[in-house]
Amino acid sequence: MIGAVKAEVSKLVTLPSPAITVALTWAVTVLVRQADPPGGAVPYSQAGVLVLGVLAAGHEYQRGGQIRATLLAVPRRPLLFAAKTVALLVTAGPAVFVAALLAGEPGATGGLLLDLLLAAGVATIVRHPVGATAVVLTAYQIVVPLIRNGLPDVALPPAPVWSAAIIAAAAVTFHRRDA
């Protein structure tokens, strides 16, 4: 397990797209916080965290199919999925915490980490980074606010429930699907 986590961490820290996404998320968060009232920058941090989760989990499904080599190296899929999840939290967790601090809402770290896991789960299910990004950003920025504002008496399940359900579905999908 430790070897698989190390390999996944190594992959994540050497990819340029997550680092660029983190830098852009921090920059936009700082700019928006200067213009908006307290807490107004959190949705922008959230959008960056969602993209980060998709890029981190979906990079192996892009052209070239690196996922095949990963599965050859670690054929036990449940172990590999757990290693990928731990590696994502280890590498992106500090960046998410800094994003919450920059937004002026350090208490938002837990919610942003759940968003990160949910986005990674969607990317694992969809297996296409652009499609997964479209799904999570549309859901978070359009669908959920419409439901919340249009139907205020409808209670949405809390974020941990959504994240757990998506991660569970991603784990099952990852285990059963061909590379």
Residue 155 has pLDDT above 70, yes or no: no
Specify the pLDDT at position 154.
Answer: 61
How many structural domains compose the chain?
1
Q: Which residue has the higher pLDDT, 113 or 40?
A: 113
Contact 153, 107 (CB under 8 A): no
pLDDT one-digit tens code per residue, 19-54: 999 999 999 988 888 887 776 788 888 999 999 999
Q: Flag the least confident range among 20-24, 63-67, 103-107, 152-156.
A: 152-156
Buried-state track 92-119, b at ≥16 Cβ within 10 A, e below 16: beebbbbbbebbbbeebbebbbbbbbbb
pTM to 2 decimals?
0.89
Q: How far apart are the first and last CA of the chain?
A: 20
Phi, psi of 142 (to 5 degrees): -120, -55
Domain span at residue 65 reads 2-176
